[in-house]
C-alpha cells in the first residue's frame, strides 16, 4: 500500500528520528514499501515508511550484480561516503544504507514534487524569476559543498529534485562527486554540461560546477543546453570553443545573458565565483531571497 505524502511527519523531527536509528543495522523489515517512484540503470526507487518513526523516505534499491557488471561499485561507495555527511536544505539527505545478498538499499530524503527535469519539459523554459531563484539555491548549495572540499561534477536537471515542503530545489546523485584534495583528470558527468577542461582531459577543480551552473541557467531560460548539437563531436567542439549563442526567442534579458557569459568562460580561473554570482544584478533583481520558488 502506498503511503500518502500528507502523512509525512514534520521534517526536522522526523529527520532526527531517522538519524537516531542510523547507528543500528537497518533491514528491509524496518520499512513499509509503497509505490515505485522511478527506475534507473541499476535498480528502482520506492516510496517507503520507516516503521519506528513513521517518516516517509525514498528507498533506492540497487542490484549488486548490475553494479559489478558495470564496475561502478566505487561510484556507489563515493556517493554514500559524500552524501551521508552533507547537511544543507538544497541537498538531498542520505539517511543511511543497508544491504542483503543481492541488493544495496539507500535511505534517501523523499522529494515529493519529483524531478526538475520533468517540470522543465512540461514548462519548456522557466521565467527569469524562477530561473534566478533556482540558480541562487544551487549556488548556495555548491558554496557549501566546496567548503566541504566536495565537487559535484554532474549538475544537470535530471539530478535535481523538488522538495516536499515548499518546492525547494534539492541536489541529488553524488555518484560523480569527488573530494577536492587532489585535482582530477577523469571525464565524467553529462556531455552537454561538461566544461572545456574535462572535454580536453586536463586537470580540473571546483570551478567545473560553476560552468555546469551556467549551462543549467541557460537551459532554464531557453529550454535547451547552449552547446547542444546533433553529433557528439560537434558538441565537444562547441564546448571547447565556447561557441555561445543566444537565440532571439524566448526573450531573455541582457543581465541574464551577462551572468551566463561570465560563468561560461574557458579559463576556469576567470569564471564568476559563486559568492560573486549571488551579488550579480540579475540575481539580486529577480531571485526570491529565500531561494525557494513556490510551485
Helix axes 254-263, 128-147, angle to 10 degrees: 20
Residue positions annotated with a catalytic role: 154
Q: Is 100 annotated as a binding residue?
A: no
Residue 209 is assigned to a ligand binding site? no
Say how far apart CA 238 and CA 232 lie, in whole Å.
10
Residue recorded with cell 569564471: 271
* 267 annotated ligand-binding residue: no
- The C-alpha cell at 55 is 517518516
Cell of 104: 544495496
Q: Determine the Cα–Cα distance for residues 4 and 47; give it in Å rounded to an integer.
A: 9
Q: Nearest CA to 163 among 21, 282, 15, 279?
A: 15
Residues 6+ apart with CB under 8 A from 75: 175, 176
164 in Cβ contact with 12 (< 8 Å): no
What three-state secondary structure class fits 39?
A: strand
CB-based contacts of 104, cutoff 8 Å, min separation 6 = 61, 62, 64, 67, 76, 97, 98
Strands 150-151 and 55-63: unpaired
Q: Which helix (H) or strand (E) holds 57?
A: strand 55-63
Would the annotation count 148 as a binding residue? no
Helix (H) or strand (E) holding 58: strand 55-63
110 in a known ligand binding site: yes
- Count of CA atoms in the C-beta half-sphere (13 A) of 291: 17
173 known ligand binder: yes
Q: Which three cell numbers stand for residue 53?
A: 518513526
158 annotated binding-site participant: yes
- Any binding-site annotation on 243? no
Between the CA atoms of 83, 85, 87 and 93, what dihedral angle is there, to the nearest 10 degrees? 40
Feature table: binding site for ATP: 41, 60, 109-111, 158-159, 173
Known binding-site residues equal 41, 60, 109-111, 158-159, 173
Amino acid at each position: 500500500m502506498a503511503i500518502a505524502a500528507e502523512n509525512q511527519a514534520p521534517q526536522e523531527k522526523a529527520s532526527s528520528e531517522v538519524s537516531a536509528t542510523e547507528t543500528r543495522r537497518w533491514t528491509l523489515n524496518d520499512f513499509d514499501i509503497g509505490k515505485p517512484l522511478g527506475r534507473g540503470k541499476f535498480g528502482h526507487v520506492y516510496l517507503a515508511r520507516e516503521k519506528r518513526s513513521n517518516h516517509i523516505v525514498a528507498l533506492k534499491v540497487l542490484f549488486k550484480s548490475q553494479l559489478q557488471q558495470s564496475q561502478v561499485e566505487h561510484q556507489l561507495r563515493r556517493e554514500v561516503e559524500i552524501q551521508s555527511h552533507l547537511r544543507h536544505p538544497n541537498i538531498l539527505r542520505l539517511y543511511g544504507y543497508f544491504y542483503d545478498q543481492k541488493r544495496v538499499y539507500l535511505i534517501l530524503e523523499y522529494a515529493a514534487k519529483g524531478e526538475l527535469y520533468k517540470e522543465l519539459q512540461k514548462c519548456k523554459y522557466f521565467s527569469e524569476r524562477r530561473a534566478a531563484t533556482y540558480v541562487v539555491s544551487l549556488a548556495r548549495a555548491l558554496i557549501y559543498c566546496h567548503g566541504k572540499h566536495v565537487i559535484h561534477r554532474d549538475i544537470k536537471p535530471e539530478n535535481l529534485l523538488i522538495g516536499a515542503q515548499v518546492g525547494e530545489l534539492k541536489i541529488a546523485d553524488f555518484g560523480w562527486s569527488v573530494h577536492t584534495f587532489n585535482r582530477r583528470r577523469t571525464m565524467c558527468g553529462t556531455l552537454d554540461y561538461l566544461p572545456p577542461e574535462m572535454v580536453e582531459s586536463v586537470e580540473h577543480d571546483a570551478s567545473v560546477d560553476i560552468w555546469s551552473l551556467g549551462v543549467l541557467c541557460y537551459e532554464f531560460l531557453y529550454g535547451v543546453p547552449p552547446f547542444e548539437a546533433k553529433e557528439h563531436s560537434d558538441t565537444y567542439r562547441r564546448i571547447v570553443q565556447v561557441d555561445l549563442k543566444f537565440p532571439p526567442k524566448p526573450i531573455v534579458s541582457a543581465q541574464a545573458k551577462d551572468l551566463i557569459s561570465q560563468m561560461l568562460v574557458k579559463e576556469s580561473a576567470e569564471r564568476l565565483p559563486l559568492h560573486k554570482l549571488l551579488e550579480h544584478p540579475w540575481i539580486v533583481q529577480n531571485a526570491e531571497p529565500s531561494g525557494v520558488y513556490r510551485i
